[in-house]
Structure 1
């Protein structure tokens, strides 16, 4: 495979749990924009539309790659899988799912601090989310990460993006009050332009501010990839997101099947 990333970028990813990739998907922004436009007009049954008191809309949808041709084109024909392999240090890469998040202007709804892995029917250490903005994202609207939190060895209680718990009695601990004690954490974040991307581990604690701009939207396509150590997880009485109701894998079996195609 062609080497896409510097050793410093890979090292930052593995030590901080997040890094920025400049200009790596500049040729794909139009394709992904067309896909998101189609997706918003034809959402999946599991779509979430969070309405802000200010009139904004936070649109969240996932697992549409097999019916949105632009998503499929990007997933199978871009350099994303090779980039993911370098970051994870994995010889194989499998798609877990894609996730679209759109905050229209005046969306006074933040993305709460959270980890991705506790939401998932998945156990893995080789993971990467590649978050690709289709609009300019200034510092006050970008994702923030707690550097090194992927190495804390903790799984925190998942929340819906409206702040309610996904599972009330899941036995997991609550996240600490990060916003109330920001000085206690190494918070990293980057301004972004279309074509840039953020890459982060599923275990990295992250969140994002509300979009209080009166005119600017924030569209993002997030690609969720896993490496060779990923196994399916079934947790009794626990709702996962995405739900993957058709998957028949048993707990602990290697991730496989048509829902999770091999990319490398």
Structure 2
């Protein structure tokens, strides 16, 4: 394990991550990395990828922009993914021997944006299954607690899969398979859940398991809320099929795997330990 990861993530951080499914990590990314991400996000906004979505209605205030799977075409994203401490941090949090990069997801809420991000957890969207997972949500702007993503502590240990939901309207995906439940009414029954949230500064990052329920409020204030999410896979993660289209739609994009297969390293490179395929070859 790199000295960077050892010094940036304490044993207490690891304990909280495993217990709660979410933890805040303070000042783990220097301005060097944040500047690169900021440049990349501006490039992404100017040149959206094929899967970009504008969630804000035409006449609504603000702007809620989302895009993903651009790390190979945006040099600043690629540099961050392959050179920053993120991969070593992911391996340390997951307790994994290696960290394989899954994808990035940029979510920008400009000042005055009224759209929330609905309660959901990430695993049912994905063509992967396993416990050794971590998403980092790295803000490029100060984030007051009232607009910070919220997490239901311990929900990654419930042993449940909830229907994925459309970000635009909160409707469930049309998954015609068994084993999925509607997301509970967390805001309607607040006493039943331990909801975690924090005030964040640039350099901080949120780390959470793919199974942890979370949402994000609107951004009604005067400041931007640029978030760069980077998703990592650990030792026990394998390919799986969902009863509908996954998001990102990697099977439709050409990832040819069978349930139980290890994830292809040409599409999902092993970044930690160093020496793996840091470039990747996916289209």
TM range (shorter): over 0.9
Give the TM-score of the pair, scaled to structure 1.
0.96
Q: Which residue of 1 aligns with 2:203?
A: 195
C-alpha separation in 1, matches of 2:114 and 2:63 = 9
The 5-angstrom pairing of residues 1-264 of structure 1 reads: 1-2=2-3, 3=6, 4-27=8-31, 28-52=33-57, 54-162=60-168, 163-171=170-178, 172-213=180-221, 215-236=222-243, 238-244=244-250, 245-264=253-272
Aligned residues: 262
**How far does residue 67 in structure 1 lie from its aligned partner after superposition?**
0.4
Once the two structures are superposed, residues 79-130 of structure 1 have per-residue CA deviations (whole angstroms, 9 ceiling, x without a partner) of 0011101100000110010110000111110011100000000011100001
Change (3 A) 1:170 1:60: farther
Give the C-alpha shift of residue 46 in structure 1: 1.0
On the 8 A contact 1:26/1:196 being kept in 2, the answer is no
Regions of 4+ moved over 6 Å: none
CA distance in 2, matches of 1:234, 1:17: 24
Q: Secondary structure in 1 aligned to 2:270?
A: coil
> What are the ranges of 5 or more consecutive residues in structure 2 without an aligned counterpart?
273-283
Unmatched runs of 5 consecutive residues or more in structure 1: none
Deviation string 1:191-222 (CA, Å, 9 cap, x unpaired) is 00111000000000000111111x21100000
Tell me the distance in 2 between the aligned counterparts of 1:217 and 1:7.
Answer: 33
Secondary structure in 2 matching 1:222: strand
Indicate the RMSD between aligned Cα atoms, in angstroms: 1.1
TM-score normalised to structure 2 length: 0.90
CA contact (8 A) 1:35 1:68 kept: yes
Does the 8 Å contact 1:157/1:170 carry over to 2? no
Map of 2:277 onto structure 1: none
Q: Contact between 2:124 and 2:242, CA under 8 Å: does it hold in 1?
A: no
